[in-house]
A and B are shown apart, each in its own frame.
Chain A
Amino acid sequence: MKHTLKFISSLSLLFSMFLGYAQDVPEISKNLKDTVTTKKPKTETVKTVKPEIQEAQAPKDSVVKTDRYGLRVGVDLYKLTRGLYDKNYKGVEFVGDWRLTKKYYIAAELGYEDKTTEDDRLTSAANGTYLKAGFDYNFYQNWLDMENLITIGLRGGFSSFSQELINYKIYNPNPYWGELPPITEGQKYNGLTATWLEVAMGLKAQVFRNVFVGFGVQLKLLTTNKEPNNFENLYIPGFNRTYDGNFGIGFNYTVSYFIPIYKKKTMASEMAKKEEPKKKK
Chain B
Amino acid sequence: MKKLISLLLLFTFGLSSCEKDDICDANTPTTPRLVITFYDIANPTKTKNVSNLKVIGDEMKEGIVFNESLAVDDSLRYVTNASTVMIPLKVNDSTVTFKFIYNSLNPAAINTDVIKFNYSTQNVYVSRACGFKTIFQLRNVLPFVQTDPDGDSIWMTDVILENPNIESENETHIKVYF
| A interface residues, Cβ below 8 angstroms from B | 7, 10-11, 14, 17-18, 21, 119-122, 139, 152, 168-177, 180, 183, 199, 201, 219, 230-232, 234, 243-245, 247, 249
Contact = CB atoms under 8 A, between A and B. Distances in A.
Nearest to B86: A174
A180 B92 contact: yes
A173 B29 CA distance: 10
A169 B131 contact: yes
A177 B11 contact: no
Contacts of B54: none
A63 to B, nearest CB: 26
Contacts of B16: 7
Contacts of A176: 57, 60, 64-65, 88
A171 B124 contact: no
B125 A232 contact: yes
Given A171-B31, A231-B125, A244 B21 contact: yes
Contacts of B64: 176
Contacts of A11: 12
Nearest to A11: B12
Contacts of A219: 11-12, 15
A243 B19 CA distance: 9
Contacts of A249: 15
A170 B91 contact: yes
A14 B12 CA distance: 9
B56 to A, nearest CB: 10
B123 interface: yes
B123 A183 contact: yes
B111 to A, nearest CB: 23
B53 to A, nearest CB: 16
A170 B129 contact: no
Nearest to B90: A177
Given A168-B132, A170-B91, A173-B30, A243 B9 contact: no
Nearest to B14: A247
Interface of B: 1, 4-5, 8-9, 11-12, 15-16, 18-19, 21-22, 24, 26, 30-31, 33, 57, 60, 64-65, 86, 88, 90-92, 96, 123-134
Q: Which 7 A-B pairs have the closest CB atoms?
A: A121-B131, A171-B30, A174-B88, A172-B31, A176-B88, A171-B130, A169-B131
Nearest to B124: A230
Given A14-B5, A139-B1, A199-B11, A177 B33 contact: no
Contacts of A244: 18-19, 21
A120 B22 contact: yes
A255 B134 CA distance: 49
A182 B5 CA distance: 47
Nearest to B134: A170
Nearest to A182: B131
Given A139-B1, A199-B8, A174 B33 contact: yes
B1 A21 contact: yes
Contacts of A243: 18, 21
B72 to A, nearest CB: 14
Given A120-B22, A152-B4, A14 B88 contact: no
B129 A120 contact: yes
B15 A171 contact: no
Contacts of B21: 243-244
Given A14-B12, A171-B30, A177 B131 contact: no
Given A171-B24, A172-B91, A180-B92, A121 B8 contact: no
